[in-house]
Amino acid sequence: MGKHTSAFGKFEFHVQEERLAIPPKKGDLFIGIPKETCHEEKRVCLTPDAVLAMTRQGHQILLETGAGEASNFSDKEYSEAGAKICYSPKEVFECNLILKVSPPSLDEIKMIKPLTNLVSSLQLKTQSKEYFKALSQKKITAIAFDYIKDDHDSYPVLKSLSEIAGTASILVASELMNAENGGSGRLLGNISGVPPCEVLILGAGTVGLFAAKSAISLGASVKVFDNSITKLRQLQQDLNSSIYTSTIHHKALEKALMRADVVIGAIKGKTRAPVVVSDDMVAVMKNGAVIIDVCIDRGGCFETSALTSHSNPTFVKHGVIHYGVPNIPSRYAKTATVSISNIITPYLLNIGDEGGFESATIYDRTIRSGIYMYKGIVTKKVVGDWFEIPFTDINLLII
C-alpha cells in the first residue's frame, strides 16, 4: 500500500495481484472539438479528411461552429465528413474526449465533465498551478502533444511543428528585410553579380536544420552555431553540404553577428533558452538586420528579445528588427493543422481499436507516454518538479 497526494489531497493505492490481460474490444469514441479561444490561435486538431476517417469507423465528432475557419476549413466540409456542428461550446465540452490545440482555459475546464479525457498541447512554461488543480478536481486524464513519444524515440508533433517554425523563420525574415518594413532592402537570395545575404542560425536542432535548408535553397550564405559537435555533424549530413559551423565562442559569434543580415535563435535549453547574444552584441549588428527568436516562448536566445504577437510582430532595438512571436506555426494555420491532424489521427483510431481511452492507456506505450495527468493525478516528473506538485509514475496507476 502506498500514499500519495492529488489536487492535492492524500490518497492511497493498493498493490493488486497480477491478472491476465483480456484482449480489448473496439470502442466508439465521442469526440468534441471546440473553437480555439487562445489569443491568435488559428489551428484546429482535425481536418475534414481526418474527421471522415474517424466517422467511417463509427466514431462521433462534435465540432463547434467556426472551429476550422481560421485554417480555411468550413463547417460545411466538416458536416459533409460526418461531424455534427454545434453552436454552443458547452455541448462540445460535454463529450468524453476533448481535442484542442491550445490547453483549455480555466473557464473551459469548468465546462468539462468529470473523468473526461483531454488531448491538447500543454505549453508548460505558460501554465499555472491552478490549471493542474482544476483538472485534478475533475479527475481528468490529459495527454499533451508535447510529450507524445513514438516507437522511434522521437516526439512527432513537436518535430513537425519545429520543421514548420524553421522554414517559416526564413520566410518571415525575407519579408521583414523589405525596406517598406524597415529592413535593409536586400533580397534573401542569390542573384548573379550580387553578394548573397548572410544567415546566422543559433542551434542545430530541427528548427535550425529546416531554417538552414530554406536559406540555402534561396541561395543565402549560412552559418550555424551550436555547442554540440554531434548535432553540427548531423546537420551537415542532413544538408549534404559542408556549410560553416562552429561551437559558440564570443569572438567568433560576434564577428558572425556583425556580418549577418538575418539571425535565427533556435537553442531551446533544458528549462529555458540560454541567452547567447547579449545587448552589446546586438548593438554591433547592421542597421536593418533581422532577428527571429524562435525560442521566445522559452525566454529567448537574445538579451534584447521580447514577446510580440502576430498582429504586432516586431520592434526595433539598436537598429535591428526583432521578431518575437511565440506561436510561429499558427501563422501558417492550414499547413500546421494538416500536420497535427496527420499525426494524431492514427493514434485516435488506435484508441478506438484498443477499446477506448482506458484500454489504450494500458496497451499503447505511445499514448501512455503523452499522459501528464491520469484521473486527476499528475504523472509527469517535469510537471511535478516545475510546480512542486506530487506526482506518481503512470505505470503504477494503470496496473
213-262 residue pLDDT tens: 999 999 999 999 999 999 999 999 999 988 999 999 999 999 999 999 99
Query: What's the rounded Cα separation, in Å, for the pair 181 and 306?
Result: 19
Task: Compute the residue count for the chain.
Answer: 399
Ramachandran assignment for 195, one of left (phi > 0), alpha (psi -120 to 50 degrees), beta (any other): beta
CA atoms of 312 and 308, how far apart (whole Å): 6
Is 267 found in the same domain as 222?
yes
Residue 131 predicted with pLDDT over 60: yes
Q: With 70 as the cut, is the pLDDT of residue 25 above it? A: no
Angle subtended by helix axes 333-353 and 156-176, to nearest 10: 180
> Strands, E, within the chain: which ranges?
2-6, 9-13, 30-33, 60-64, 84-86, 97-99, 117-120, 141-144, 198-202, 221-225, 244-246, 262-265, 290-293, 314-317, 320-323, 371-374, 377-378
Give me the number of domains the chain comprises.
2
Residue pair 337/174 in contact by the 8 Å Cβ criterion: no
* Residues 191 and 296 grouped into a single domain: yes
Mean pLDDT, the chain, whole residue set: 90
Cα(295)–Cα(264) distance, integer angstroms: 9
Q: Which of 300, 331, 362 is the last residue of a domain?
A: 331
CA 314 to chain centre: 22
pLDDT of 198: 96
Tell me: do 141 and 21 sit in the same domain: yes
Burial of 65 (0-12, 13-18, 19+ CB in 10 A): middle
193/264 same-domain check: yes
Whether 167 and 264 map to the same domain: the answer is: yes
Same domain, 308 and 183: yes
Whole-number pLDDT of residue 17? 52
The closest of 285, 290, 295 to 325, measured between CA atoms, is 295
Computed on alpha carbons and rounded to an integer, the radius of gyration of the chain in Å comes to 23
Taking residues 368-374, what's their average pLDDT?
93
Give the pLDDT confidence of 141-190 residue by residue, as tens digits. Answer: 999 998 999 888 899 999 999 999 999 999 999 999 988 888 889 999 88
Q: What are residue 224's DSSP bridge partners?
A: 201, 245
Please name the residue that has the C-alpha cell 520543421: 163
On whether both 318 and 368 belong to a single domain, the answer is no
274-286 pLDDT per residue, tens: 999 999 999 999 9
User: Structure pTM?
Assistant: 0.87
Only one residue has cell 474517424, namely: 54
State the DSSP code for 73: -
What's the CA gap between 327 and 344, in Å, rounded?
A: 19
What average pLDDT score do residues 308-329 get?
Answer: 94
Residue 126 has pLDDT above 90, yes or no: no
The CB density around residue 12, as the number of other CB atoms within 10 Å, is: 8
Residue 140: predicted pLDDT: 96
CA–CA dist 100, 102 (Å, integer): 6
The pLDDT-based confidence of 5 (bands split at 50, 70, 90) is: low
For residues 172 and 232, membership in a common domain is answered with yes
| 130 lies in the same domain as 226 | no
- Evaluate whether 93 touches 120 at the Cβ level (below 8 Å): no
The three grid cell numbers given for residue 99, joined into one nine-digit string = 481535442
Give CA 347 to chain center in angstroms.
17
Does residue 273 share a domain with residue 212? yes
Q: Tell me what pLDDT residue 357 has.
A: 84
Domain limits for position 265:
163-331
Domain end residue (candidates: 331, 361, 383): 331
Q: What is the pLDDT of residue 181?
A: 82
> Residues 175, 248: one domain?
yes
CATH number at residue 348: 3.40.50.720
> 124 near 382, Cβ under 8 Å?
yes
> Among 331, 349, 374, which residue terminates a domain?
331
The answer to whether residue 20 scores a pLDDT higher than 50 is no
Q: What's the CA gap between 246 and 267, in Å, rounded?
A: 14
53 and 133, same domain (yes or no) = yes
